[in-house]
Amino acid sequence: MKNLSNKVALITGASRGIGAEVALHLANTGAKVIVNYSSSKAAASAIVQQIKTNGGDAIAIQADVSNSQDVKNLFDNAIAHYGKIDVLVNNAGIMINTFIKDTTDEDFAKQMDVNVTGVFNTLREAATKLAENGSVINFSTSVNRIMLPTYGPYVATKAAVEQLTRVFAKEVGNRGINVNSISPGPTNTELFTKGKPKAVINRLASLSAFNRIGEPGDIAKIVTFLASDEAKWISAQNIGANGAMA
């Protein structure tokens, strides 16, 4: 069912992982898609080509979400091409696992710049440039619900995202825009699996009721629903997507 026909969706960090899967799912349900990327031009172009091969419509636009001018240009270029943006998915993010005592200033700042400032920059643009009755979906994490060592700075950034989500929902609701966040659990992406021994991944999988970690498609289906008109009465909420892990 093409329940996102005539909608235009902008997904940040959409060249790989969950973001790429979200772009594909939104395109498959009829949306025109802007695949944002920071540095992976070839990967972003491949996603655009895959969407076009499947009969969809997509473009790739480079922007570093932590840079406010880049984000302004991202919105302006997307609107210049498609005429509007209806759906914003803030997927771009980085995760650096270290104990708090071992976290460098640089690593802390990197995560804050992308995960928090990046979301803030896009929300600021969306406040006036997202179409009436649009939808915003921000990415948080289910790790906020449990206490895992080495995730301290990362969960701090995502807690900030959840609070931005709640406040922004009240600020733009008068334009018919609903704003939610989604909290994936462990998911089979490079961001999550890189550097983790198989034993660690298996242990995290065992925390799920289904004895597995998530797949990008599991998350993309929920994002697609939140972007649809059927979800308009859901706003300022955080949706756990973790297979009962937390």
Report the alpha-carbon angle 172-60-44, nearest 5: 115
Catalytic residues: 154
